[in-house]
């Protein structure tokens, strides 16, 4: 019940959203990793999945590029990717996903040291592991301060069973003596620090495995990276 005379500055956010923000802040503080299940309404997840499949049918995907286009590229990463800002007509549900993640990140900003300088993000990278053992070897997303501070991945795989299909995301948090194995299940969102704190790999997948990833920038680190890049 608002105190009489005091202007109620709290935005009329749904309680759910505040609880979710609290959950993300706590997990990022404690583990540097946060898994959120049932992130959107299932209908939204379905619509996003249909858009991703349509992108694949339009052959919008290409092999995940490597810095060194080594002959054994497939031995390092087997994902097929395409980038989108979610504004094209066939990607408006991906655009909705991006806006929902933006909203969570924005709400976390004030509560989390690591989020305080967050501003800007990449476009969304839509990835498909075509099965047949496609995997991604252990790596760090941002090993050398390119500005990316948080990795957010939204999974779209219904009835995924890692025991028979593989494809789990294995995280090896440097500061915690544990290994997290995350199944890429439908409507699951994961956040983790993009830097050396979170080496991770995708185990060989034996079914088609879809995910949408967005990276958020730390403005200070990003600015430094861009200025050093041009100089
Ligand atoms: O799908 C998952 O569970 C994670 C896959 C993953 O780590 N993908 C990935 C994809 C990347 C593409 C370009 C540059 C860096 C990258 C780092 N990681
Ligand atoms: Mn990665």
pLDDT tens sequence across 33-91: 999 999 999 999 999 999 999 999 887 888 776 544 455 556 667 899 999 999 998 99
Average pLDDT over residues 4-8: 53
Q: How far apart are CA 25 and CA 20, in angstroms?
A: 9
Q: How far apart are CA 210 and CA 192, in angstroms?
A: 18
Residue 190 CA: nearest ligand 1 atom is 3
pLDDT tens sequence across 216-231: 999 999 999 999 887 6
Ligand 1 pocket check for 169: Cβ under 6 Å: yes
pLDDT tens sequence across 104-130: 999 999 888 889 999 999 999 999 999
ipTM of the prediction: 0.98
pLDDT above 70 covers what percent of the chain? 88
- Is residue 95 predicted with pLDDT exceeding 70? yes
Ligand 1 pocket check for 195: Cβ under 6 Å: no
Residue 125 CA: nearest ligand 1 atom is 12
Angle at 95 between CA 180 and CA 31, to 5 degrees: 20
Q: Quick one: pLDDT at residue 68?
A: 47
* Among protein residues, the one whose CA lies closest to atom 17 of ligand 1: 141
Ligand 1 pocket check for 28: Cβ under 6 Å: no
């Amino acid at each position: 019940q608002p105190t009489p005379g005091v202007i109620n500055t709290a935005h009329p956010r749904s309680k759910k959203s505040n609880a979710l923000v609290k959950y993300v802040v706590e997990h990022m503080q404690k583990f540097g990793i946060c898994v959120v299940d049932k992130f959107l309404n299932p209908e939204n997840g379905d619509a996003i999945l249909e858009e991703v499949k349509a992108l694949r049918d339009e052959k919008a995907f290409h092999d995940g590029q490597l810095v060194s286009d080594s002959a054994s590229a497939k031995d390092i990463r087997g994902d097929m990717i395409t980038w989108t800002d979610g504004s094209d007509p066939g990607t408006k549900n991906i655009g909705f996903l991006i806006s929902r993640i933006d909203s969570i990140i924005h709400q976390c900003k004030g509560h989390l040291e690591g989020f305080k300088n967050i501003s800007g993000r990449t476009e969304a990278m839509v990835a498909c592991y075509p099965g047949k053992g496609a995997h991604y070897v252990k790596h760090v997303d941002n090993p050398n301060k390119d500005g990316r501070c948080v990795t957010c991945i939204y999974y779209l795989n219904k009835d995924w069973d890692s025991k028979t299909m593989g494809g789990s995301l294995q995280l090896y948090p440097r500061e915690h003596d544990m290994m997290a194995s995350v199944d890429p299940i439908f409507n699951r969102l994961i956040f983790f620090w993009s830097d050396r704190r979170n080496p991770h790999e995708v185990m060989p997948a034996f079914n088609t495995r879809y995910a949408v990833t967005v990276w958020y920038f730390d403005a200070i680190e990003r600015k430094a990276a861009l200025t050093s890049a041009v100089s």
